[in-house]
Amino acid sequence: MVQPTSAPSTPALTPQFCFSTAALRDFLRVSRSAIDDTITQNLNALVTPSRAGFDPSSTTQRSPRPLSRQIDPAACQEFKDQVLFPSWQARSQVLSYCALVATSPDPDDPEAAIREAEKQKDRERVVNERLDPYSARFFPREPRTEQLASVIRMEQGVENIVRTRTWGIVGERCGSDGKTWEQALGEWRRDKHLPLA
């Protein structure tokens, strides 16, 4: 049997990793492309080739087979347990950790002094709105924790969409048990004794 693609390993979780939003987004993009974006190909890899030899009549004209044929339930469960859920868990861990970093104080913010200087300069500025109606506008730089929080919120939304789409395809090909992806992932985490993040 052809093995499905495996997701990249979870990076070392440090505040520097989170604040490097390019690295954070790259990890999420590569992980999603390895598993979720190629879910149909990964599930096709689970279909076992026929056990009998080649049958020449299989190439004759006949009605096309449905593309979404069912996959062996044991193979589907193994794929979910060994590939899909671990990939989702790794991304959940990264997003949860970086969300925590985004809500924590940031003593190492390299732009903190610049922002403080800008605020001081704004307090000292004389505003005459009759001469310049836009002079009262002040747009302070956003702290990197707020920038990170914005990125995390956006990526969590993307993650929800990607998982919903992937779970729909898995349900079509493997047979649906009526559970949402959140319920199935939660059960897998409980079985593995992982935090329910």
pLDDT of residue 27: 96
Find out whether 35 and 42 touch, Cβ atoms under 8 Å. Answer: yes
pTM of the model: 0.73
Q: How many CA atoms lie within 13 A of 37 on its CB side?
A: 9
pLDDT of residue 116: 66
One-character DSSP codes across 78-146: HHIIIIIHHHHHHHHHHHHHHHHHHHS--TT-TTHHHHHHHHHHHHH----TTT-TTTT---PPPPHHH
Q: Along the chain (197 residues), what's the average pLDDT of each consecutive run of 10 residues?
A: 61 91 95 92 78 55 54 90 95 95 78 64 66 64 86 97 96 91 94 78
Find out whether 64 and 194 touch, Cβ atoms under 8 Å. Answer: no
pLDDT of residue 1: 45
pLDDT of residue 173: 92
pLDDT of residue 76: 92
pLDDT of residue 2: 43
